Structure 1
Amino acid sequence: MRKTLRQAGRATGHLALAAAMAFGLWLFITVLIITAVGTLAVVGAWLLPETVLIIRRIAGAKRTLTASWTGQKIPEAYQPLTGTVRARIRTAVRDPGTFTDLRWMVAYWFYGALLALALPLWPVGLVVDGVWGGLLRRTPVVLPLIVRIADLEADWSTALLKPSPKAQLAARVEELAATRADAISAHGAELRRIERDLHDGAQANLVALSMRIGLAKRAYDRDPETARKLLDEAQAQAETALTELRQVVRGIHPPILSDRGLVGAVRALAASSGLRVSVEVERLEEDGLRAPAAVEAAAYFVVAEALTNAAKYSGSPVASVQLARLKRGLRVRVADEGKGGADEKDGSGLLGMRRRVAALDGTVEVTSPVGGPTVIDVTLPCVW
């Protein structure tokens, strides 16, 4: 009985919020009328994209409310309203998400109003069931009905607010276009870094090596001691050039990944980070299975960047790394107990990390409230 009461109370709260939102949508009709008149009169056409943005926020609030009841997130797919006024109007009119939201809004005016009218009857039902079940020891009748109504309301909202396949496809195209641009940008930056490292490091050492060998050849017959000294210097210069080349190669694909695998490479990063880092591994590299090289490299650089940021900025001596094999991907989670407040705009490397992951169609979630903790959660899709 107590469990039923809790469920019914929660359902009543959910339905009360749903009814309040329906009442607010009835008031919103005035805004829709003003927008329609202004758009038809042309002079107020700029109101259309702004109204669509408001509708998106209202629908987003309803998605959040419904997800809090069902426990399942409702996806959304919108085309960005950017550019000139004409472009924003065109996008607002053609976006399938606009039709989806308006369809839900119209339907919600009716079944939300029914919820509002029935709401005063539910407290009576709670009292009746309380007496019925508590004094007469009978099975509650009204309380399960309230929960069922809340389930139906959530099912209707989910069905109406779920993006159409066309909207999801359009949003996916926009997302892929953005990630492709980020991948091209990241690739260009990587090429410039490699070129700079080769020019300033290995290339300069190789030029000096060539000069010393030439001087040694000229001095070989008339001054063997000087030639020997020049050859010794040339050997040292060659070793320096090899070291520079190894550094460049390590930046492209760390050799430790090939030698030890991702788990071994991450443990090595943890040991050399200067922090006390715990590494947890779940179902990774079982039966000799490994992620593709590009995925391992991206995961390695995520951990390296995150631990570097933690050592520099967090102020905490402790961090943790979790590697988990998913059904269709790899999950990397790096956390520290520092001061938080990480911002992608302050040059902390988070933007570069996001671009590297986006190039593989992965996702990055950064949680870093002021005061901590900072958690970086990355998912990289792959086939095992």
Structure 2
Amino acid sequence: MGQAYITGFCVCCPESAETMMADLREVGPTYFFAPPRIFETLLSTVMIRMEDAGALKRRLFHHFIAHAKRVGPDLLDGRPVSLLDRLWYRVGAALIYGPLRNTLGMSRIRVGYTAGEAIGPEIFQFYRALGVNLKQLYGQTEASVFITQQPDGEVRADTVGVPSPGVEVRIGPNGEVYYRSPGVFVEYYKNAEATAETKDPEGWVATGDAGFFEETTGHLRIIDRAKDVGRLKSGALFAPKYVENKLKFYPDIKEAVSFGHGRDYVTAFVNIDLDSVGAWAERNNIGYASYQELAAHPQVYAKVQAEIEEANRSIARDPMLAGCQVKRFLILHKELDPDDGEMTRTMKVRRRIIAERYGALIEALNSDAREVFADIAVTYEDGRTGRIAATLEIRDAAVVAVTPAQGIAA
């Protein structure tokens, strides 16, 4: 709102989560700010609709999107692109990218920002490939929002840019990010103890995030929340949010929770997206009566396994986090729910509570078990309580071999 007061632009908010897509098309914003969850939801909607489209339209979509991912970001940043690639991108813009941006309500966007938590690199790259000038913003309320920003021509999926003007950023001995600036908060209201824990006498504020500066570019790279970052027994770095964002790029995976600190390998719980997987099941004549039945179907497991293995190949290309590949997984028989305390109302995973509620499942994932019985208490919307029980299959996912040194030096 502060930006609107200074520059004089009109701020529009969606009427509700259900009307967001229609509201976006109606408003046609030129400046768009949303958390990663919104971009994930929009992308899932697009991919579900494309899977329901005809064979020719699907082929055109996947062909031109692949071309856009290769040359779109370079065009957006003004880097050299061959004449043939430019012409083919224009064809794609007429047939695919333009109509898609219009469907998403992003035809007029000059610049878009995402912040609040890490966005999956594949999701970020998808929007930039379409020609949407999406950038990552790193900030906090305590900083008057801005800490780092991505300058034009230096936008990347794996960093959050360089310090904003007037902001100093340093990395603590434990890898935590600290900052100070003229915009830093004075104190928490009537909470001197919390203020002292967050801000030191010299004005440096602890973000709670772990990160580092790239020596070659000066860009800040955020790994994960400092309290969540850990290491496998091998010493390889483990960043759960990084893994989960990789998995949630796939429309079939609505939520994922990964585990690995102090373990031999990384494991994961998966929640399927009922809309996406349900539409796929209908196209393939797979009958089901409930979320639980669909989640346990062997063909659904095979589909999710293939997506996890594709995510593993992507993770393996990151030298620092290659050890984070998911080796074993299961599909939960219920969706993680704020009413059960498993997620916040803003749909962020509550790791400690999940670890407590599903401890037996985590131990089974780290054993040789091929299945595990789960009996979980649930709270319904009307306040009633009950239990959902099922025997869950545990599957292995193929991982890419990495050298022992990968991830350890970070």
Q: TM-score, normalised by structure 2?
A: 0.22
- Rg larger in structure: 1
Kindly indicate which of the two structures has a greater share of residues assigned to strand: 2
Q: TM-score, normalised by structure 1?
A: 0.23
